[in-house]
Amino acid sequence: MRLHDTVLGALLVVLAAAFFGYTFTFPDMPGQKYGPSLFPRLIALGIAACGIVIAIRGWRSGLPWISISSPLRRLQGWLALLAMPLAVVFYLLVAERLGFLPTAALIVGGLCFWNGVRWWWAALTGVVVAGLVQWFFGTLMRVPLPRGWFMQLIAGG
Amino acid sequence: MSAIAAAAGLVFDPYVITVVVASAVFGLFVGAIPGLTATMATALLVPITFFMPPVPALGAIVTASAMAIFAGDIPGAMLRMPGTPASAAYTDESYAMARKGQLELNLGVNLVFSVAGGLVGVLFLIVAAPLLAEAALNFSSFEYFWLACLGLSCATLITASGRTRAVLAMLIGLGIGCVGMDPVAGYPRFTFGSVDLMSGISFIPTMIGAFAVSELLRGALASHDTRALVQEKVGALFRGIGDVTRRYWRNFLRGSVVGTAIGALPGAGADIAAWVSYAMAKRFSKEPEKFGTGHIEGVVESTSSNNSALGGAWMPALVFGIPGDSITAIVIGVLYMKGMNPGPTVFLQNPQFIYAVFMIFILANLLMLPLGWAAIKGAGKLLRAPRNILLPVILLFCIVGSFAITNSPYGILVMLIFGIVGWLMEENGIPVAPLVLGIVLGELLEQSFLTSMMKADGDPTAFFTRPIAGTLGALTLLVWVVMAWRALAGTRKTAA
């Protein structure tokens, strides 16, 4: 998904302006000419300059406002692309309540199934991988993976 | 001498050796799968190394990255798909050789010269790093300011994509580096009241997002048809290597030296080293017309080059804390996590760690010979690893790894955001490596600039009065002039 350079440049200038504007909320350093706002302002000016150069150079390119690569011209392409970010969002939303093991198993199993793996093989992969990761990170490395009601049910509290 | 003995004690420990061998296998696997890169291997390893002592942690990264850069050559020759971007320069050449029935010779050369090139890179690292560190002990904020400037400028000067976009990526990286407490006054900037953001955007989840998740997104769209292997069985690998060495030893030497130098330049790593060396091989060859038709000469030079670049990249990383490539950018994050702040004082305070890294580098390159041989022999199976299962499993590793660094969902959120940002950047031709360099060097640049300005009482000429600072400053300005000149020349060419 490629934006037309002029659109990209304009977006960058807007981003740079917001970045620059926000620095006015920073205090000055007493007795110093240079404070916390100096670097962000220089960076914002630089980003804006790059944005302008990209916008001007792209003006005559004749490309469409957004060029979509061929896999993304079909709905399946978008679903394939979004499946993984959505899985991460799913994890963020439910892992704390549901617990790591079932959430991870659902994500891995679900994505495998989505990728065309047979359902029983996908389910088995999900459970085994989630179990191994829980054992390695949760038990060996002592990462406080979310327990959720699943572990409470198993461990009884 | 006692430091070397202490280092040997640290390295030749059953636990460390097990970690090194396991990371070698992991690196070979990740490198050989098209679409999974050496940087991704490193980013995925970091959450695990988080729980290790410094030597095995660094050893795991050194070994996995060296193996991955070599293993990228295997699918290049067998499928015409580079396993990592570092093999892309000579993938067509390797594939053409394989089609001519020279697959064994090609892979044998790739293996042997990867090992040899890697060893040359380490040799330079061992000799040059302590010397540089001694010089760097006298560095003040002025020198560090110019070093950071020079690093950032080089990263944008040597780039495969457009220079404006590389500069843009670097600036965005510097902007991201501004989030959190400012390095001089300690004022929280762009934190929007979030406690998580006070110490800056968490670096490792950012790397996992930018280098691993964005690759997964690309992988979800790309088709990697691995059914069309050139041949199933690989025969004797080392036949004919002697002849190649006798004919092309100059290419090997030039490739290794150029690779190390490019690796040592901040921001340019193994992939650029391979492209430059391939072009040089063709330029100086007596038979340039054979290039592209399955000719070994360019392969010798560039496969030596990309592995030697790894050693080179560690020089500025260890001595100045300035990453030579995106892998060492992650290494610097790891060093800070382990309390071994990179810089010349590490050489004084913890010399045993530095020698241990050198030893593991040599060990990893020597291990590459048998393990790489095994990987090539088993390539038929390795390349058929089911991607539809692999990608979800890697995603789970990314989630858990990002969580493990911050112990909160904040790390996962950072990973997700930078995964999408990284994907969008690549789609729009904006390279990710300068962004990472900007994030890593932002604080050093700002801190050294503001400290220097305070010391000099606002007088900019003070940046040039110390001899080394003056030289580095002049070099930086020279790089800027070259960039401006090239930009102008480019504009004129398009206008004409």
pLDDT digits (tens, 9 = 90+) for B23-80: 999 999 988 888 788 888 888 888 888 888 989 999 999 999 999 999 989 988 888 8
Which residue, among B404, B376, B470, B413, has the nearest Cα to B32 in the 3D structure?
Answer: B376
Distance from CA of A123 to the nearest CA of B (A): 11
**Closest-CA residue in chain A for B222?**
A71
Residue B158 confidence class, pLDDT cut points 50, 70, 90: low
Neighbours of B313 (CB within 10 A): 33
Residue bearing the bigger pLDDT, B436 or B254: B254
How far, in Å, CA of B269 to CA of B307, rounded?
10
What is the arithmetic mean of pLDDT over A96-118? 93
**First-to-last C-alpha distance (Å) of chain A:** 48
Residues in A 82-101 with any Cβ partner in B closer than 8 A: 83-85, 87-89, 91-92, 95-96
A and B: number of Cβ contacts within 8 A: 154
Distance from CA of B458 to the nearest CA of A (A): 8
Question: What is the per-residue pLDDT for B225?
Answer: 62
Lowest mean pLDDT among A65-79, B226-240, B258-272, B317-331: B226-240
Residue bearing the bigger pLDDT, B382 or B496: B382
Q: Which residues in chain B are closer than 8 Å to A112, comparing Cβ atoms? A: 388-389, 392
Question: What is the per-residue pLDDT for A58?
Answer: 83
Q: Is the pLDDT of residue A47 over 90?
A: yes
Residue bearing the bigger pLDDT, B68 or A35: B68
Q: What digits encode the pLDDT tens for the residues B405-423?
A: 888 899 999 999 999 999 9
Q: Select from B217, B386, B412 the Cβ nearest to the Cβ of A92.
A: B412
Q: Select from A2, A40, A85 the Cβ nearest to the Cβ of B175.
A: A40
Question: What is the per-residue pLDDT for A11?
Answer: 94
Question: What is the per-residue pLDDT for B490?
Answer: 67
Which residue, among A135, A144, A139, A131, has the nearest Cα to A104 in the 3D structure?
Answer: A131
> Do residues B15 and B59 touch, judged by C-beta distance below 8 A?
no
Residue contact A33–B216, C-beta within 8 A: no
Q: Is the pLDDT of residue A96 over 80?
A: yes
Residue contact A115–B388, C-beta within 8 A: yes
> What's chain B's average pLDDT?
88
Q: Which residues in chain B are closer than 8 Å to A22, comparing Cβ atoms? A: 190
Question: What is the per-residue pLDDT for B168?
Answer: 93
Residue for token pair 């067509």:
B92
Number of domains into which chain B is organized: 1
> What's chain A's average pLDDT?
88
Question: What is the per-residue pLDDT for B365?
Answer: 93
What is the arithmetic mean of pLDDT over B106-129? 94
Q: Is the pLDDT of residue A157 over 60?
A: no
Residue contact B175–A19, C-beta within 8 A: yes
Q: Does A31 touch chain B (CB under 8 A)?
A: no
Token reading at B453: 């300005």
Distance from CA of A29 to the nearest CA of B (A): 7
Residue contact A29–B185, C-beta within 8 A: yes
Q: What digits encode the pLDDT tens for the residues B238-295?
A: 888 899 899 999 999 999 999 999 998 877 788 889 989 999 998 899 988 888 888 9
Q: Select from B221, B416, B442 the Cβ nearest to the Cβ of A80.
A: B221
Indicate the SS3 state at residue B333. Answer: helix
Helices (H), A59-99: 75-98
What is the arithmetic mean of pLDDT over A60-75? 79
What pTM did the predictor assign? 0.87
Distance from CA of B197 to the nearest CA of A (A): 16
Token reading at B382: 């390795």
Suggest the residue from B15, B225, B396, B423 to mutate for an interface test with chain A (most A CBs closer than 10 A).
Answer: B396
Residue bearing the bigger pLDDT, A42 or A140: A42
> What length does chain B have?
496
Distance from CA of A157 to the nearest CA of B (A): 21
Distance from CA of B178 to the nearest CA of A (A): 7
Residue contact A40–B178, C-beta within 8 A: yes
Suggest the residue from B215, B399, B410 to mutate for an interface test with chain A (most A CBs closer than 10 A).
Answer: B399
CA angle B274, B278, B280 (to 5 degrees): 115
| ipTM > 0.90, yes or no | yes
Residue B393 confidence class, pLDDT cut points 50, 70, 90: very high
> Do residues B37 and B68 touch, judged by C-beta distance below 8 A?
yes
Question: What is the per-residue pLDDT for A150?
Answer: 78
Range of the domain at B81: 2-495
Residue contact B388–A36, C-beta within 8 A: no
Q: Is the pLDDT of residue B318 over 70?
A: yes
Q: Which residues in chain A are closer than 8 Å to B455, comparing Cβ atoms? A: none
